[in-house]
Amino acid sequence: MIIILKSDVTDSQISHILGKVEKLGLKTHISRGVERTIIGLIGPEDVLQVIPLEVFPGVERVLPVLAPYRLVSREFNKENSIITIREGIQIGCGRLHVIAGPCSVESAQGIRAIAHKVKKAGATILRGGAYKPRTSPYEFQGLGEEGLKYLAEAGRECGLATVTEVLDPRDVGLICRYVDILQIGARNMQNFSLLKEVGKVDKPVLLKRGISATIKEWLMSAEYILSNGNFKVMLCERGIRTFETATRNTLDINAVAVVKQLSHLPVIVDPSHATGKWDLVAPAARAGVAAGCDGLIIEVHENPEEAFSDGPQSLKPENFEILMRDLQKIASAMGREI
C-alpha cells in the first residue's frame, strides 16, 4: 500500500503517520520525488484496517499496490530511481554508463592494464570476478580476497568504480569493504538468503536475471532486496535459456522495455553473456542502448585466447574502443549521453 502525501505536508505529520503504522509491525519507506512524497508500507495490508489512514493530517490519498512486487513496481514509484554509485556516477539519470573489464581478476598487473584501457575508452565502472561460480568444480574459481584487493587498487588508480559478484551471504561484509557494487549472478537470482543479506547493506546491487527466470520472478527477487531496506538495486538482462543453440543465451531485448513499464529500477544489459561470442557483443550492445537501457556490462580482456574464463565472449581493448564510439552515436541520436 502507498500513502500519497499532500504537497504541504510537514515533517511532524510524516513522523505521526510513521509512528502509527510502525506500531502495527509494518516497515515503511519514504520516497521524495519531484512532484510528490509517498510512504510505502511493507507487510500484510489487512492490519491497516484498524486505522483510517485517509483522515490523517497531511495525507492526500491511500492506494493499494496491485503488483506482487510492491516496492519494485511503478505503482509504488512512478519516477525512475537514480542509483548513486559514487560522486559523478549515477545510474538511471539519463546518461548511459558502461561497466567493463575481464570476467575474472587473474593478476594485479592484468586488471590494472585493462582498467586503464577501458577507462580511456569511456567506461566508468570496472568489473572483475574474485569468486567465480563455474559449472565444473575443476575450473578456475577466482583469487578470492586477493582478487578483491587487485580490483580495488586498479579502480582507485584509474578513477573507476568497481563491481564484483558475491556468492555467499557470509562474504557480503568482506566484499563490501573492497567494491562499490555487489553483483548477484544469474545462478543466485533466487538465492533468497543471499538476497536478504545484500538487502541489509548500504551498497548498490546489480541483480542479474536468472537463466530461465520470467520477468515476474526476476522482479520478485528484487523485491526481496528492497523489502530488507536496500533500494539501490539495478536489474541486469543477460540473456535467457531458450531452444536456440547458435548463441550462448538469447538476449531478451523485450525485457528492457517491459521492465521499464513495470518497474522504476534501472536496467543494465549484458551482451557478453547473452551472446557468448565476441563478434556478436557489439550488435547486441547497440540494440540494448536503442531499447532504452541505462547501462551495459561488457567483458574485455587483453588476450581472450588465454583468459581464465569467458574468453570467447570477451572483446579486445581495441574492439571495445570501437564499440564505445558507436554507442556514443546511438546515445546521441536518442538525446542521451555516454
d(CA 275, CA 279): 9
Task: Give the strand pairing for 295-299 and 97-101.
Answer: parallel
Q: Do domains 2-63 and 83-333 have the same CATH topology?
A: no
Of 144, 226, 228, 127, nearest to 183 by C-alpha is: 127
- What is residue 164's predicted lDDT score, i.e. its pLDDT? 98
- What is residue 328's predicted lDDT score, i.e. its pLDDT? 96
Domain coordinates in residue numbering, the chain: 2-63, 83-333
d(CA 5, CA 30): 10
- Whether domain 2-63 has CATH 3.30.70.1140: the reply is yes
- What is residue 45's predicted lDDT score, i.e. its pLDDT? 66
CATH architecture of 83-333: Alpha-Beta Barrel (3.20)
d(CA 21, CA 14): 11
Please give the model's pTM, rounded to 2 decimal places: 0.89
d(CA 273, CA 243): 16
For 147-184, write each residue's pLDDT tens digit. Answer: 999 999 999 999 999 999 999 999 999 999 999 999 99
- What is residue 40's predicted lDDT score, i.e. its pLDDT? 84
Cell numbers for 334, please give them. Answer: 536518442
Listing DSSP states for 254-297 in one string gives HHHHHHHHHBSS-EEE-HHHHH-SHHHHHHHHHHHHHHT-SEEE
CA angle 50, 55, 59 (to 5 degrees): 110
Q: How many CB atoms lie within 10 A of CB 52?
A: 10
Query: Which residues in the chain come in under a pLDDT of 50?
Result: none
